[in-house]
Amino acid sequence: MEEGSVKRYTVNGFQFGSDRDRELAETEYSSIQYINGKIANRSAETILSVYQGAIERKMFRTPVGYAYLHDLQKQMVSMGLPREKIPPIPLMQVFDNSVYEEDRPRREVVANKRKKTNELREKNRLLIIANIILIVLVIALFAISLTGSTPNMLNYRSAIINEYSSWEQELSVREGQIREKEKELGISSTKETE
């Protein structure tokens, strides 16, 4: 790294690898200065409560914050507070990449969560596919019922009217034929006599 970029990524003696980490460290450094102003000349018990609050809220995540928490530990011990009353600094990072026996259960839990997540995604995918198939089937059924020739609940009225109309037409044609035959044979129809 060049000298200019080293200065750009350095906060309180720590060099960071990205702008985001540097910005986080600068924010923590500002918090540290504010806290120092508030706890100056305070008792060890007050410093302990501030220290515990910072740990509970997970205020510090960079080496700048961890170094400050360590400095607070030293300050409280030098003020006479027993080391047993001071909780350790929880580090949220793993520094050794080898697998220990106690790490396996955690990894299995993470693997199980991933497996469950993948199973849920697969189930959701199957449900979506099933829904799409059902929608296509419903649309196909409506299309068949609308375009089909057999009467159904959607077109029964028009089918019945068409059927009666065709019967009426057929009867009219037959009646006309019967009248012609009657005229040829000289038979008088009942309608003409009435």
Residue 137 confidence (pLDDT):
96
Cβ-in-10-Å burial (0-12, 13-18, 19+) of 19 comes to exposed
Please list the ranges in the chain whose pLDDT falls under 70.
1-7, 94-111, 154, 189-194
The reported pTM is 0.48
Query: Which pLDDT belongs to residue 108?
Result: 61
CB atoms within 10 A of CB 12: 15
Residue 59 lies in a domain: yes
Q: Report the domain count for the chain.
A: 3
Q: Is 15 helix (H, G, I), strand (E, B) or coil?
A: strand
pLDDT reported for residue 4: 56
Task: Write out pLDDT tens, residues 89-118.
Answer: 888 776 666 655 555 555 566 667 788 888
Are residues 142 and 162 located together in one domain of the fold? no
Between CA 63 and CA 95 the distance in angstroms is: 13
Q: Are 143 and 182 found together in one domain?
A: no
Q: 71 and 9: one domain? A: yes
Question: Does residue 73 sit in the same domain as residue 137?
Answer: no
58: Cα within 13 Å, side-chain hemisphere: 4
**Domain assignment of residue 172, given as a range:** 152-194
Given this model, what pLDDT does residue 193 score? Answer: 47
Examine the domain organization and report whether 7 and 71 are in the same domain.
yes
In a domain, 34, yes or no: yes
Residues 19 and 59 grouped into a single domain: yes
